[in-house]
Structure 1
Amino acid sequence: MTFASVRFPTDDVPGLVAFYEQALGITAQWANDQFAELVTSRGTIAISATALTDRFAAASVAPRSNAGLMLEFLVDDVDADRDRIAELAGGLVMEPTTLPWGNRSMLFRDPDGTLINFFTPVTPEAAARFGGR
């Protein structure tokens, strides 16, 4: 089995896509005006209109209800991204902080409230978990 993607239903597809394009520095691939994908080296973030899912599985998704989900992105330098992300997200949930397991992380939310972690391994042990990065 191979992980393929995570999908976020939303009532504002263009707004959420624009946020992720700016945060990740990648351009979305649009299938139509209700569905776009942001393809990373390890998986895909799909963003679709709530109405699209409702057409096939009515009331099966609830936008803005991802309280138990955290997306995590390995970045080159959390501190270098801090100001850009704080402005884009309208603030941070957690300032860049070095955590006990050796990652330097910052937390912020996307416009629909999903928690996002940008992190950089800063100890040799943490770097080893990510291929020496």
Structure 2
Amino acid sequence: MKIGEVGLLTNDVKKLADFYKLLLGVDNGSNDNIHQTIISEETMLTIYNDGTHKNNTNQNMCLAFTVDDVDAEYNRLLGLGVEIIEKPKLRPWGAKNMSFYDPDKNIIYFRTLLKNE
């Protein structure tokens, strides 16, 4: 069994999808207000409105993306005005992580896995 999809439920599909398209450098060619697939390879990332109101207090989940250079991404996100939770920091398990919020206050981690020297 594999995870087939991670879906983010939201009140504003276009706003959240536009954020993730900019964040991930993706152009899905969609302006749909109900459902957008942002990543379609491997595990899908979709933004969806199921017709119910969301309270945007998502406190029990996060998304993590592995990036080549977390410091460069940090500077790019600062330039985009993204709300940073924690600056890049070396972790005991061999990764350098940073965290930030998306427009719905979901927590996102960017991490660079450091090579053992």
Name the TM tier (shorter chain): 0.7 to 0.9
Q: Give 1:4-23 correspondences, 5 Å limit.
A: 4-23=4-23
The structure with higher relative contact order (CA 8 Å, sep 6+) is 2
The correspondence for 1:114, drawn from 103, 106, 110, is 106
User: Is 8-17 or 30-39 further displaced after alignment?
Assistant: 30-39
1:74 maps to 2:66? yes
Deviation of the 1:29 alpha carbon: 5.9
* Secondary structure, counterpart of 2:9 in structure 1: strand
Q: What's the C-alpha RMSD, in Å, of the aligned pairs?
A: 2.2
The 8 Å contact of residues 10 and 48 in structure 2, kept in 1 or not, is answered as yes
* Length-normalised TM-score, structure 2: 0.86
Q: Deviations over 1:23-69 (max 9, x none)?
A: 11112364943100111653111111241xx4xxxxxx735132111
Q: Give 1:56-67 correspondences, 5 Å limit.
A: 62-67=54-59
Deviation of the 1:2 alpha carbon: 1.6
Unaligned runs of at least 5 residues, structure 1: 55-60, 126-133
**How much identity, in percent, do the aligned residues show?**
30
1:27 maps to 2:19? no
1:100 maps to 2:75? no
Q: Give the greater-gyration-radius structure (CA).
A: 1
Q: Give 1:82-97 correspondences, 5 Å limit.
A: 82-97=74-89
* Length-normalised TM-score, structure 1: 0.77
Number of residues of Structure 1 aligned to a counterpart in Structure 2:
117
Cα distance 1:116–1:110, how it changes in 2: closer, same or farther (>3 A)?
same
The CA distance in 2 between the partners of 1:5 and 1:95, in whole Å, is: 28
The 8 Å contact of residues 13 and 32 in structure 2, kept in 1 or not, is answered as no
